[in-house]
Structures are given as structure tokens and as C-alpha cells.
Chain A
Amino acid sequence: MSLYSIFESIQNTSLMTGVEQTPWVYPIIMAIHLSCIAVFGGMILMTDLRLLGLALRDQSIADVVGGLRPFKRIGFVIMVTCGLLMAGSEAPTYYPNPYFWTKMILLLLVGVHALIFKPIVYDHPEELDKAPLIPVRAKVAAVLSLILWVSIPLCGRLIGYYEPNEGKAPQSSNLRRLTKP
């Protein structure tokens, strides 16, 4: 069974056909997806800027990391769930899209980032507050996180610009803008 046929099978499940064919469901899921990106993506950016010592400097790192953690987790789960529903409902269309695969790789790297830095940075924010200077490992974690979380929504948007026949982004046209991203 090829990967493409798996993508077709995913799209043909009752859940995904329901998402694609029921009026308003796809736009509503996308609205929730993008709202979460705006709200929780912004929180991720501010957490990273705090680790870099560039924002919220009057707040302890522990307060920023700990205070926003539950909301970022909830937002991440909602974002991923909505993203899976959108991608699954048009899975074969996404299959040849290089921006889709780039986004998937970036999301995988988010997992790798968490595996590496959660034990040494995010699980011990009090230690970062006690240090005279913010440790390099925390700044590296923040820079990589910033790169990843800026790239992911950009790739998500660029998915809508890909045209398989040309293999590259088209000249922006009004017609293209009005299609599903």
C-alpha cells in the first residue's frame, strides 16, 4: 500500500468526508485553527522572548513559563486536532505539496526540541531565575523555538499557494487568494 493510497483512505473516512462536505464545517475548523495560532502562537513567542531576556523582564521566567504552559498545551492540542481534520479532509491534495511536508517536518522538530530542552530548560525555570545570567541553553532553546514557530504558520499559509502543475508558487491572483489555504 503506497503512502498516497493511505492518504486517499484517510480522506474517504466518514469523519473526513463529513468535514469536507458539510457546509461551514471546514471554515469553522479553520477559524478555530487560526485563532489558536494567533493566541497561543503569540504566547509561545512571548515565552521565548522572556527566555532571551527581551520581554517581560520584570516577570520571573518561572512565572512566564509556568503561567502560560497550560494555555499553550490546550492551544497546541486544539491546533493539531483542527489541523489534522483539515489535512485529512483533503489528504490526497496535500500529498504532493512540499510546504505540507515541510510543515510536518517542522512539527516533528518541535517534538525533538521538547525532548531535548524540556528536561534541561522548561522543567526547571526556577534554576534559570536563580542564575546571574540567563544560561546559554535557555537562549538556544528560545531561538530554535522562535525559528520553528515562525516557520510553521508560514509553511501553513504557503500550502495554499502551491500549484502542483507548476511545482512552484503562482503569481498571486485574486482567484488563488479565495481558495482554501
Chain B
Amino acid sequence: MASLAFLQSNAIADLLNNTEWGFAVAECFHIVFFAVAIGTIMIVDLRLLGLAFPRTTAAKLHHDTWVYTLIGLTVTVFAGMALFLSAPRMYSLSGWFQFKAIALFVAIIYNYTIHYKVASSSPSRGVGVVVGMISVLLWVAVVTGGLFVGLLA
């Protein structure tokens, strides 16, 4: 708890807590860039699931979207860290925040390991469906966890 108390007093917390729009602006960046990241990942997932882009491959779509995914995730994570630093004690004690953090960690690891490997190859329909479905569920879990942090903390 001492480390959380230390984190509580930081320049970012001051900026977000003591300015009128600081928290809202950080939250807006968090939401918009998260949509960019999720949107691009879902485009690849739709192909893996066989639901869209039948004339191209998942590998090609992954190649075309990975930069936007990376930018989206990077801004989202940094904005999210800033939001966390505005009230680290409160967030750390939230079960939903812990759920979201774990889901996000697993989703990112999954995205850059299994998802990347399968999307970059020519997977069978069955493998593509399973990998795409797990990806969708992981990211929906992240969104849901993030929402419940605010609603039910």
C-alpha cells in the first residue's frame, strides 16, 4: 500500500485530477485509439472466421493492418496507464480492474504470438475459426472489464 501511496502523488495524477479536462481528454484518447486497435484486429479475425474478405488472405490483411493495430494499442496502453496513475489505489483495489488488466495482458500476448503466427500462415478453416473466435472473446472481455471498472468499482 505504501507503493500505491507513492504512486498516488505524481505529476500525471496532478494533471488529471486538478485540471478541468485532463481526465476526460486522456479517456477520449484511450477510447478512440482502442477502437482503432480493435477494429484492425477484428478485420483479420473476420477473415480467419471466414466471414469477410474471401478474395484475400488473413496474412495479407494482417500485413496491411499491423501498423494501425500497434499505434492503437500503444496509445491506448499509455493513456490507460495515465488514467491508472490518477487514482492507483482505487483502481488496484477494484476486482474488475484486475480482471481487465489480466485480460488485456493475455489479449496482447495472444495477439502477438498465436494470433500473429496463425494469421501470417495459411491456416485451415478450423484453426482460423478457433484462433479468430478466441481473439474476439479476449478483446470483448477487455472492453467489458474496462467498462465495469467504472460502473461497479
Tell me the A residues contacting B by CB distance below 8 Å: 27, 30-31, 34-35, 37-46, 49, 55-59, 63, 67-68, 71, 150, 153-154, 157-158, 161, 168-174, 177-178, 180-181
Contact = CB atoms under 8 A, between A and B. Distances in A.
Given A46-B40, A46-B43, A169-B24, A58 B64 contact: yes
Nearest to A168: B20
Contacts of B152: 27
Nearest to B90: A174
Given A27-B152, A30-B151, A46 B24 contact: no
Given A38-B34, A59-B56, A172 B22 contact: yes
B140 interface: yes
Interface residues of B, number: 49
B31 interface: yes
A154 B63 CA distance: 30
B50 to A, nearest CB: 12
Interface of B: 16-24, 27-28, 31-32, 34-40, 42-43, 46, 51-53, 55-56, 60-61, 63-65, 68, 72, 86-87, 90, 139-140, 143-144, 146-148, 150-153
A45 B147 contact: no
Contacts of A41: 35, 39
A49 to B, nearest CB: 8
B52 A71 contact: yes
B150 A177 contact: yes
B18 A171 contact: yes
A59 to B, nearest CB: 6
B143 A154 contact: no
Residue in B39, B86, B146, B153 with the greatest tally of chain A CB atoms within 10 Å: B39
A17 B34 CA distance: 32
A177 B65 contact: no
A45 B35 contact: yes
A42 to B, nearest CB: 1
B53 A157 contact: no
Contacts of A63: 53, 55-56
B43 A68 contact: yes
Nearest to A43: B39
A44 B151 CA distance: 27
Contact of A172 (B17, B35, B53, B65): B17
B43 A153 contact: no
Contacts of A57: 64
B85 to A, nearest CB: 13
Contacts of B146: 34
Contacts of A161: 24
A42 B150 contact: no
A89 B38 CA distance: 29
A171 B19 contact: yes
A157 B83 CA distance: 15
Q: Can you list the 6 inter-chain pairs with the closest CB atoms, starting with the nearest?
A: A42-B39, A172-B23, A67-B52, A41-B35, A42-B35, A38-B38
A57 B140 CA distance: 28
